[in-house]
Structure 1
């Protein structure tokens, strides 16, 4: 059930549960990309790229600003996560540009996987538990809705250097349109 009129936000998965589920899906997609080739690899790769892009954008717009002001050492915790996100975005952008058929795709994918999963582990250890402790279940459920809304208009490709909530809000929607059109065109050319 989606959080619509009359829905109880506390009955929805909270923001931490949503992000944890996405972290698990990201890990599954890394395995799928690594173990496939040809069209299945490209399809899993495209899904992974889009999930990583929208996931990080939503965290940058919704989760990290809240963590900055509501958890212990919030500024330092978030600054460290943003640095990790920028590194992941740069690696992801390089892999997107090279393509899944690049001769060094597999080792570069392994490097990206390591960076992304270490980042997720740090969020799960240093950020998410404190968010749960600092906010009510209802607030966390409402934030899950906000994350889903942010993801709906987020860019679907990596854009290193756009890690702040302000930059994402200003540049995200127009960039998302360009990304989604580019993806549609590339899919049409492959078919």
Structure 2
């Protein structure tokens, strides 16, 4: 599996979750979808920051600038996810936050799939890109499941903070009965 397949799969799942949110028949169903969105997008952002961005920063001609822009986008998404995560079922602000999140995510997905990752593949070659995909699959099981907008988003501090955040998130998820994906 190459490193475009893994995020593309995640992106299709998140797109389906947005459709599920709008099709939900109750506040309880919408809240369940929001919890899945928080989990999947938090994990996805953490994996990009831990695994993809360090390689892109060094391999792409303008990697530092591109990665910095992606990190700014991630920070905005994480702030929205944190707001959503704090809301109670049926909160009137949920629809607006989900709409904002969807817009931010759609733009990020388009750029990632059509420009950023294909450019990274061309820069590092298919073999290294396949290895990147395998690393993403392995890391999915241990990535943070909640947004941490104020946590470090670059190695080495990210490399130290992410496992601690992931363990904390999983304990909170279990205590709160959050869904596991």
Aligned to 1:155, the other structure's residue is in SS state coil
For the Cα contact (< 8 Å) 1:14–1:144, is it kept in 2? yes
1:14 to 2:2 alignment:
yes
TM-score (norm 1): 0.85
Counterparts of 2:87 and 2:154, CA distance in 1: 26
Counterparts of 2:53 and 2:108, CA distance in 1: 13
Instruction: Find the counterpart in structure 2 of residue 7 from structure 1.
Output: none
1:161-187 superposed Cα distances (whole Å, 9 cap, x missing partner): 332132331111121111111111111
For the Cα contact (< 8 Å) 1:15–1:140, is it kept in 2? yes
Counterparts of 1:100 and 1:141, CA distance in 2: 41
* Paired positions, count: 176
Instruction: Find the counterpart in structure 2 of residue 167 from structure 1.
Output: 157
Instruction: Find the counterpart in structure 2 of residue 73 from structure 1.
Output: 62
Counterparts of 2:124 and 2:66, CA distance in 1: 17
1:85 to 2:74 alignment:
yes
Larger Rg: 1
Q: Once structures 1 and 2 are overlaid, which stretch shifts more, 43-52 or 78-87?
A: 43-52
Aligned to 1:15, the other structure's residue is in SS state coil
Runs of 4+ in 1 over 4 A off after TM superposition: none
Counterparts of 2:93 and 2:99, CA distance in 1: 10
For the Cα contact (< 8 Å) 1:57–1:168, is it kept in 2? no
Aligned to 2:150, the other structure's residue is in SS state coil
Counterparts of 2:157 and 2:34, CA distance in 1: 26
Structure 1 gap ranges (5+): 1-12
- 5 Å-filtered alignment, 1:15-164, equals 15-36=3-24, 37-162=26-151, 163-164=153-154
Give the deviation of 1:140 after TM superposition.
1.5
Counterparts of 2:95 and 2:29, CA distance in 1: 15
For the Cα contact (< 8 Å) 1:81–1:123, is it kept in 2? no
Structure 2 gap ranges (5+): none
Q: Once structures 1 and 2 are overlaid, which stretch shifts more, 60-69 or 40-49?
A: 40-49
